[in-house]
Structure 1
Amino acid sequence: MVLAEAAHADRVLVLALLAGVALGCVLLWSHASERIRAFETAMAGSVRARSGALDMQMRVAIGHLEALRQRAEFFYAEFPSPEDVPNSSLLTAFLASNLQADPQQAYSLDRLPPPYLVDQIGNVVALPLNTIVQDPALSRPDPAGWRQEAAMAVQLLPLMAVTQKVLPEARGLVYASLSGMLVVHPWVESSQAHLLPQVGSLPAFVNAAPAANPEAKPIWTLSGPSGSLPDSAVLALPLTLQGRYAGALAVDMPIAGLREVLGAVTRVDSVLLLVDEKGAVITGSSRNPDQPVPDDVSALFKDGKFVDGTVSHGIFDNHVVVVPLKHAPWRVVYIAPAGASLLPILTDMLISVGGFLAALLVVVFVARRLMLRALAVRDMAAAAEREARDAAERALSDLRAAHDELDFLNREKTRFFSLISHDLRGPFNSMMGMTQELADHAPKMKPEDVADFARSVHEMARKVFELLENLLQWSRVQMSGTPFAPTIFPMREVVGDAIRDVASAAQGKEITILDAAGDRWVLADRTMILAVLRNLLMNAVKFSHQGGVVHVTSRALGDRLEVAVTDKGVGMEPAQLDLALRGGPKASRPGTQGETGTGLGLTLVRDLVLRHGGELKLESTPGRGTIASFTVPLSHDPAETRRLLSRAAD
């Protein structure tokens, strides 16, 4: 009994399994059919888009030929009588090519009149009259009518040039007339115009004639080497002037250009073709080198008749899409082999089967979601902690920046006062020495000597005041960028003032200062340059030996003057030289007699020289001395300049 029930349960399970398999197959087939239809719709849409692009190019070509035809018709409407036709340089040059109307001589625009160039405009060539007489398809009007048609032809040349720019893929534009005239663009010499001898029998123009084209529609004519696909498509448009067929306008479109517009196929096993009304292939593309483009596709259709749209499904038969063109008697045909759509369908089926398996992962998914939620809470807490830490770091950074700024301002303040004390010490020492001399010996001195001492003290006080003004101005420049006030003055005067300012210190060490600065004029801030020279001379005296010599020289370097202070003192090691250029208290070292300083003098000199666009240079050899030089802009003596200008005016 138990075994029977188990067997019954097994049979029910098998039946249920078979029913499920059958239902799954039905669902999969329904899904596969839907995917096939979507594949066909997408492929048909892609082919229609490519056909539309090709059709648009043909429409543009037809539109420009229509514009050329309208221009020719408008010319005859504007000048219906040959006597009304105006002259033009192109018409005159064309008729002048056969000025005597020699029936044995052809006409041409081989020699274009100014300002026309061969790369800007085309050519007009015509057969000799004797050749016209021998060709029954051609006839030339009387001289007046011939001149009228020639005038219309040269009127087409500029418009053809514009059309060529709009249709860069076109190989050329042609107007072939029954009068044996040929208008071509781009320009070719008449001897190279290979179409001229056969102007009356060209296939494109024969097909456009009223006998073959009574409705005067645009006509497409294919040409190419025998036994291969065409390489050229000529679009011809008949031209009727004053009720008679005059010829045809044409544009030569290379097949390669049409193939580029059509585009390449994306699938290796598919082909995209452009075919004519009989099914012959004009051009096409294929990505499979073992599958060349076929010559004819009419065998794919019953009785060789085209069926526009999607012809067949792509599982057991070829997938074929046919889209007719509106502006040419051709069709775009896309062919995909049987089974081309199987791969995407099988992919979708696998996705569907995967959906069943996804149900088994629900529990894992739920557990994962819970875990992700816990991780998200943890990440949010970590992000909040990072944000708080970043805020604290930003606040600390702001505090450090504020501290650094305050520290910088404090250092600048200290530096400023150190500079003041450094540069005022020398003049005040001199003043104190002279006033001490007055205090000790005034009763014994003559009144004129006392007056002389007083004048010297007053002069030093004045210079100290000027130096103080200069230092204050330098501090403002350093702190707020206040510009300095340059003037024109002779360098010799400032050098003399600086030598007098340090004369007391130099006499104390019996040091001789030789002035060889010359009489050149400079454009600079006088008080700043005085401070520069005073500092350099004080340093030279400080580090010179008893009884030494200090030289002040200058030389012109282009538009600048280099001033150098040279001593034969103790000199500096390279490390000491680098430290002196950096400045600061550590840069200070005692002189030859123990003189002390703040180490900020060269810093002041460097900054003041930089204000003049110059550079401070130090060259030193231990035991042999130091050369300190700087540059300032050169100028001219104002009095000499005024004298020369006055002489030039006279």
Structure 2
Amino acid sequence: MDDHGAEPGKAGHIWRAAAQGLAHLDRVLIAALGLGALLGAVLLWWQIDGRIHALESVLANQIRLRASAIDVQMQAAQGHLEALRQRAELFYAEYPAPAEMPQGSLLTAFLASNPGNDPALPYSLDRLPPPYLTSQIGNLIALSADDAAQQPEISRADPGAWRQEAAMMVQLLPLMAVTQKVVPEVRRLLYISRAGMVALHPWVRSDETDLLLQLATTPAFRHAGPALNPQGGPVWTLSAPDQPDRMVTLSLPLTLEGRFLGSFTLDVPLAGIREKLGSVIRTDAAMLLVDGNGHIIASSQDGPAPALLDDVLPGGLERLAGGGPLHGFNQPFTVSAALKSAPWHMVYVTPPFSLLLVAMQDVVISVLGFVASLLVLLFIVRRLMQRALKVRDQAVQAERNARAAAERALTDLRAAHDELDFLNREKTRFFSLVSHDLRGPFNSMLGMTQELADHAPRMSAEDTADFARTVHEMARKVFDLLENLLQWSRVQMSGTPFAPMVFPVRDVVGDAVRDVASAALAKDIQVLDAVGDRWVLADRTMALAILRNLLMNAVKFSHPGGVVHVTSRAQGDRLEIAVTDKGIGMEPSQLQQLLRAGPGASRPGTQGETGTGLGLTLVRDLALRHGGELRLESEPGRGTIASFTVPLSADPAETRRLAALGVE
């Protein structure tokens, strides 16, 4: 009893130990899966972080390149203004006294615009002297003395100094035209003088601009003055936002011996600078051009841009003071680059999480590519294993096929033996038929010619002619027999080359009708050609042999005075040619006998004509060479229809004409 009671307790202990082992195994498996997931997450984040830094580097390089492009444009404009200022300083160095200034045609024309020096009239170059043209040079306009006196910002010096400054400005006009050509982005060039004069390019009539009335109040002139620009450096200003065609203006003051004379100014359309910003890859990002006060000058985004950088990036320029890129999970990613020639910054701003999403997308694509490559590798290994198994199965199957092939070869050998035996019997029957058909005509010819040789001097002319016709008819029968024999043997031995060509079927039908004309005339039979103007692709010699044999049979089995028709009809891409007679026709048994392969006995015609027995056999073989077949339809006493088909073709001349029309 104790032993039996111990058995269940031992089994329960084993089951409990197994359950504990499985539970321990589950914990190890869960821990391994958790550790693998953590490691995968770390590697994935490492890849994403590296991708983010790579994107930041690419964007920073793009910002620097685009900032350099705008810098080059601004430096070129600033350099040409500096050249104009140096030319003005050189003029005063060459002609320090008003009495020494040159008197050119432009200055003369300018002074002649107000010959009486009327204080109520302005001065201008509205009428340029020859050879100057308005498209080549700008205008010089001066306020009248009365208008200049009413503006406190205008300080007109004595007449001599005023004329000296006018002479300097006249000499600057050609140089301003050159600057306009070299810097095509510039919309307008100005030199605004404190004496109430302005030189501008391109040329515009004085009464078509209100520049003189705003001369001393323009932002470019005021900001270039010593009050707002004590250092005398270049000054960049921007037109009001409400103006439809906003301009960026660069001003450079002209100061001699501490005295502010005026400012050189050029206007650049803001649209041209906006084009220099270029496009951004992401539609939710923006490329901005910001001035030193945080105002947004231009934006790459379509539509109206925000007024301040603070509206896009919290903190504005203060956050960009460090110079490096700014990014965070909940903050916009920002890269900036300062311009060297202007107090502006180029700023690239993307929404929060933007680069993170791009980096995650790239990494996910890479992971998917790796997984796809692994799957492809597994697929290739699987296919290789399947191919190895398939090779083994093919070897087994090859052995079976070899055994089956040997059996088929034995069967084919037996069939070939039977076929050779059949061909041998056919050959014997063929030679028997040929020897019989040749012996009869030759015996008759030998007897007739011997009779002529022995009794020709004593025979009448009519008997001699009758003998000659009989000999000719027998010779013709022998010739037809030999011709069909040669054609049939060549087809059987593949000795006749198949040379298809394009030709009108009417031509070969006409030749065949002429070949049987004498036989048809002897029986008063009409052969009517109704094949039409169709073109075929066939061997002309073989087609002629087919038609000649069919026509000879039709004449042979037609009653005297009958009619034989040759017709054709299209059947898809093939042409069926039929020879129809109203002769004696055939019984179904006779029709089946004629359709058998190989030469057979010939039936006599309506007037006892004999044949070779090879005609229809030859026709059937030649029709097969053209991809067709010989068809016979016959009724006793109602005639026979013999037809065959050949490939249809198009008229080459018509094809060339249509091709020429298509080319034209």
Pick the TM interval, shorter chain.
Answer: 0.5 to 0.7
What is residue 76 of structure 2 aligned with on the other side? 60
Say whether the 8 Å CA contact 1:229–1:282 is kept in structure 2: no
Match of 2:318 in 1: 305
CA distance in 2, matches of 1:132, 1:371: 101
1:126 aligns with 2:142: yes
- Cα–Cα, structure 1 residues 303 and 176, in superposed 2: closer, same or farther, change >3 Å? closer
Superposition map of 1:251-400 within 5 A: 251-286=266-301, 293-298=305-310, 300-302=313-315, 305-308=318-321, 309-313=323-327, 315-341=329-355, 342-352=357-367, 354-355=369-370, 358-359=373-374, 361-365=376-380
For residues 358 and 266 of structure 1, the distance between their equivalents in structure 2, rounded to whole angstroms, comes to: 29
Alpha-carbon deviations, 1:515-565, whole Å to 9, x = none?
xxxxxxxxxxxxxxxxxxxxxxxxxxxxxxxxxxxxxxxxxxxxxxxxxxx
Q: Matched residues in 2 for 1:368 and 1:56: separation?
A: 61
Letter in 1 for 2:209: A
The superposition leaves residues 194-247 of structure 1 with CA deviations (integer Å, 9 ceiling, x where unpaired) of 111121221111110011101011101111254x79811111100013442100
- What is the CA deviation profile of residues 398-418 of structure 1, one whole-angstrom value per residue up to 9, with x for unaligned ones? xxxxxxxxxxxxxxxxxxxxx
SS at 2:71 equivalent: helix
Aligned residues: 368
Give the 3 Å change call, closer, same or farther, for CA 137–328 of structure 1 in structure 2: same
| TM-score calculated relative to the size of structure 2 | 0.52
Mapped partners of 1:126, 1:146: distance in 2? 10
**Displacement over 6 Å in runs of 4+:** 367-372
Shift of 1:332: 1.5
- Which residue identity lines up with residue 309 of structure 2 in the other structure? V
**Which residue is equivalent to 2:162?**
146
Deviation at 1:368, TM superposition (A): 7.4
2:248 aligned residue: 233
Q: Could you give the per-residue CA deviations for residues 481-502 of structure 1, whole angstroms, max 9, x where no partner exists?
A: xxxxxxxxxxxxxxxxxxxxxx
Contact 1:229-1:283 within 8 A present in 2 as well? no
Task: Give me the TM-score of the superposition, normalised by structure 1.
Answer: 0.54
Q: 1:307 to 1:202 in 2, by over 3 A?
A: same
Equivalent position amino acid for 2:58 in 1: A
Q: Give the Cα separation in 2 of the matches to 1:368 and 1:81.
A: 99
Q: What secondary structure does 2:308 align onto? A: coil
How far does residue 344 in structure 1 lie from its aligned partner after superposition? Answer: 3.7
User: Is 1:29 equivalent to 2:7 in the alignment?
Assistant: no
* Match status 1:81 vs 2:97: yes
Name structure 2 gaps, 5 residues minimum. 1-16, 388-664
Which of the numbers 203, 206, 212 marks the counterpart of 1:196?
212
> What is the distance in 2 between the residues matched to 1:215 and 1:111?
39
Distance 1:229 1:305, change over 3 A: farther
Cα pair 1:171 1:251 within 8 Å, conserved: yes
Residues 26/90 of structure 1: CA separation in 2 closer, same or farther (3 Å cut): same
What CA distance in whole angstroms lies between the structure 2 residues aligned with 1:368 and 1:75? 89
Measured at CA, do residues 368 and 114 of structure 1 come closer, stay the same or move farther in structure 2, by a change above 3 Å? farther
State the distance in 2 between where 1:303 and 1:331 align.
11
AA at the equivalent of 2:344: W
Amino acid corresponding to residue 266 of structure 1 in structure 2:
I
Matched, 1:6 2:18: no
Give distance in 2, aligned partners of 1:52 and 1:223: 24
Letter in 2 for 1:163: T
State the match for 2:521 in structure 1: none
Q: CA RMSD in A?
A: 2.4
Q: 1:345 to 1:225 in 2, by over 3 A?
A: closer
Aligned ranges 1:413-492 → 2 under 5 Å: none
Identical columns (%):
48
Q: Is the 8 A contact 2:288 2:298 kept in 1?
A: yes
- Which amino acid in structure 2 is aligned with residue 282 of structure 1? I
> Is the contact between residue 56 and residue 325 of structure 2 (CA under 8 Å) also seen in structure 1?
no
Can you give the 5+ residue segments of structure 1 that lack an aligned partner in the other structure? 373-650
Given that 2:333 and 2:349 are in contact with CA atoms closer than 8 Å, whether structure 1 keeps it comes out as yes
Q: Whole-Å Cα distance in 2 between the matches of residues 258 and 190 of structure 1?
A: 29
2:309–2:316 Cα contact (<8 Å) kept = no
Query: Residue type of the partner of 2:189?
Result: L
**1:302 corresponds to which letter in structure 2?**
G
Deviation, 1:63, is 0.6
Deviations 1:173-204 (A, max 9, x none): 00000000010100000112311112122111
Structure-1 separation of matches of 2:71 and 2:26: 66
In structure 2, C-alpha distance between the alignment counterparts of 1:339 and 1:171, rounded to whole Å: 41
Alpha-carbon shift at residue 304 of structure 1 (Å): 5.9
1:247 maps to amino acid: G
The separation in 1 between residues aligned to 2:144 and 2:48, in whole angstroms, is: 72
CA distance in 1 between partners of 2:132 and 2:216 (Å): 29
Shift of the 230–14 alpha-carbon distance from structure 1 to 2, 3 Å rule, reads: farther
Give the C-alpha shift of residue 371 in structure 1.
Answer: 12
SS class of match (2:217): coil
CA distance in 1 between counterparts of 2:296 and 2:382 reads 62
The structure whose Rg is larger is 2
SS at match of 2:124: coil
CA contact (8 A) 2:192 2:215 kept: yes
The question of whether the paired residues in 1 share the 8 Å contact of 2:48 and 2:359 is answered with no
SS at match of 1:8: helix
